Structure 1
Amino acid sequence: MHIRPRRNRKSPAVRSLVQETSLSASDFIYPLFLHDKEVDEQIESMPGCVRWSLTGLIKEAGEAYALGVPAVVLFPAIDESLKTSDAAECHNDAGLVPRAVRALKDAYPGLCVITDVALDPYNSDGHDGLVEKDANGELEIVNDETVAVLCEQALCHARAGVDIVSPSDMMDGRVAAIRDALDASGFEKVSILSYSAKYASAYYGPFRGALESAPKAGDKKTYQMDPANIREAIREIELDEAEGADMIMVKPAGPYLDVIAKVSDHTTLPVAAYQVSGEYLMIKAASKDGWVNEKAIALESLMGIKRAGASMILTYYAKLAAEWLKDA
């Protein structure tokens, strides 16, 4: 027998030499929840995750950064009293997110700070866009009016010093509009990481619990993508690339590895993938009861996402995975 593939697996040293995919802390973007309170609160729907005060946020981001995690993305839990049908709080320069961006950049100038651009945390209707009633009295998430507000939100974050804005709304044409707005205001260096293929997924449930941002009526299927479709993802990515996106994203990650692979073969842009709250919670729940090894399963799941073609991974395991990889 001349060909014995096991020779390439015979020792840790040899396996290291022939390993095709590597995983490191520099691959991770750490999603962080924040609120406008003085205390940090554990999130019941996402064990191990916290709604951070600004003080806690700075500390947590700094610890992750020290472990080699290069970027954080911010998700605000907005007080109900500030939620309105026009989502005006989203572009308040004195609001929670701009204050957090300024504080993070003051504390860690080299940390890459990313902000979510969408209206659901600020919208009293709980949707990513503005809601109106059509001629039949049915709810409609209006596109162009929403895009105008998203531009104001992106500009607000840019004025605060953000590195990357990340529109997650899935409105048509928003990447081009945001790029034009940023450039016209002198923020041509602010990057756009677009949620290009964001699916209408059941895996988002724990996240919506964390932010209390679920839609009050209806669902998000008129703007988020059908989980059955993959060619549509390519169409969305081509549009975002043409409109000026610097990076594109597939969300969720684990159940959509085929989409990540197809997208990464199709585009020359860096591809991000979001290991979402439902993916995270399933690992947490199974490991809590001892059915799986949390460290082994979490790292294997992240390796699978990277192997599928992701250049960067948004994961709630970012800090913990960085610690595990450091000790490996």
Structure 2
Amino acid sequence: MIDRPRRLRATPAMRRLVSETRVHPAELVLPVFVREGATEPVPISSMPGVVQHSLDSLRAALVAAAEAGIGGVMLFGVPEHKDAIGSGATDPSSILNVATRVAAEEVGGALVVQTDLCLDEFTDHGHCGVLDPLGRVDNDATLDRYREMAVVQAASGSQLLGLSGMMDGQVAAVREALDDAGFTDTPILGYAAKYASAFYGPFREAVQSSLVGDRRTYQLDPANRREGAREIDLDVAEGADIVMVKPAMSYLDVLADAAASSPVPVWAYQVSGEYAMIEAAAAHGWIDRRRAVLESVLGIRRAGADAVLTYWATELAEWLR
């Protein structure tokens, strides 16, 4: 035999030397939930090991993340009060904007402090935008709210705005608002190919979602690959500095397509359901937890993600170190 590929698998040192894909802590982003009024961390039952933080426990989590060497944190607010237009999203004293100032003060020089720019956590109907008189999500009225949110989040210290609402034209609208307000250096992460996925279930508990119904009129149909590519192209054309594919696991083809063609960095979000499945299987002894976590993130990187949002970011970074 001439071809003996096993020669390059013979020892751990050889396998490490010829490894084609690696995961580095700097390529990991930790999603963090911060709950208004909490005095201590509140466990999320469907996501073992993940909590809704108080402001005090947030500081400790931020320090741990920075010491682990990860790239950044994505902040989500869990407010006590909600209304039809998500007023809390644009209130400088709301939990998300307060948490952003805390994070910027605590680790702003060590991590990229990122914020979720969406209304779903703040609306009493749970949708990512405001509703018209017929109960439909009003795209253009929602863009006005996003413009306001962008300026408030940037003023609070956000170093990267994560536009996750999937409204048409959201990147262009937010870019214009930031530039008009003097935040020309604040970059935008466009959740460009965000699918209407069943794997968001545990996240709904994490942010105490009020959603009734679904988001299929604005999030993408899981059947559509080309549509994901179109959305990515639109976000890039509108000025997104980074684009996102979400979820990761079931959309690695979309991710690979984007990585092959995008002129800007492409990230992926390993969502709550992906996390919960591995944790549940590991808790039953059905899989090796550490190996499964590493393999799952490695697979996302191999498909082309330049960075991965994952709830294991800090823990995984400590393993890699």
Question: Given the alignment, which residue of 188, 191, 197 partners 2:187?
Answer: 191
> What is the alpha-carbon distance in structure 2 between the residues aligned to residue 125 and residue 315 of structure 1?
27
Q: Offset of 1:14 from its aligned partner?
A: 1.8
Residue type of the partner of 1:163? Q
Aligned-partner SS, 2:269: strand
After superposition, what is the alpha-carbon deviation per residue over 1:30-59, rounded to whole angstroms, capped at 9, x for unaligned?
Answer: 000111222211111211001000110011
Unaligned 5+ runs, structure 2: none
> What is the alpha-carbon distance in structure 1 between the residues aligned to residue 18 and residue 41 of structure 2?
44
The residue aligned with 1:33 is 33
Question: Given the alignment, which residue of 229, 251, 275 partners 2:224?
Answer: 229
Residue type of the partner of 2:69? G
The residue aligned with 1:144 is 140
Answering whether residue 241 of structure 2 is matched by residue 246 of structure 1, we say: yes
Size of the alignment, in residue pairs?
319
The residue aligned with 1:128 is 128
The residue aligned with 1:12 is 12
Q: Offset of 1:133 from its aligned partner?
A: 3.2
Q: Aligned-residue CA RMSD in angstroms?
A: 1.0
Q: Offset of 1:186 from its aligned partner?
A: 0.7
Instruction: Report percent identity of matched pairs.
Output: 45
Q: Offset of 1:243 from its aligned partner?
A: 0.4
TM-score using structure 2 length: 0.97
Residue type of the partner of 1:154? A
Instruction: Say whether the 8 Å CA contact 1:234–1:266 is kept in structure 2.
Output: no
Q: Offset of 1:75 from its aligned partner?
A: 1.0
After superposition, what is the alpha-carbon deviation per residue over 1:114-138, rounded to whole angstroms, capped at 9, x for unaligned?
Answer: 000110011111000111233xxxx
Aligned-partner SS, 1:141: coil
Residue type of the partner of 2:177? A
Q: Offset of 1:214 from its aligned partner?
A: 4.2
After superposition, what is the alpha-carbon deviation per residue over 1:187-241, rounded to whole angstroms, capped at 9, x for unaligned?
Answer: 011110010000000000000011111413x310000000000100111011100
> What is the alpha-carbon distance in structure 2 between the residues aligned to residue 313 and residue 2 of structure 1?
39
> What is the alpha-carbon distance in structure 2 between the residues aligned to residue 116 and residue 50 of structure 1?
17
Answering whether residue 270 of structure 2 is matched by residue 269 of structure 1, we say: no
Q: Offset of 1:150 from its aligned partner?
A: 0.7
Residue type of the partner of 1:319? T
Q: How does 1:1-328 map to 2 (within 5 A)?
A: 1-36=1-36, 37-79=38-80, 82-110=81-109, 111-134=111-134, 139-216=135-212, 218-326=213-321
> What is the alpha-carbon distance in structure 1 between the residues aligned to residue 225 and residue 210 of structure 2?
26
TM-score using structure 1 length: 0.95
User: After the TM superposition, which parts of structure 1 deviate over 3 Å for at least 4 consecutive aligned residues?
Assistant: none
Instruction: Say whether the 8 Å CA contact 1:295–1:324 is kept in structure 2.
Output: no
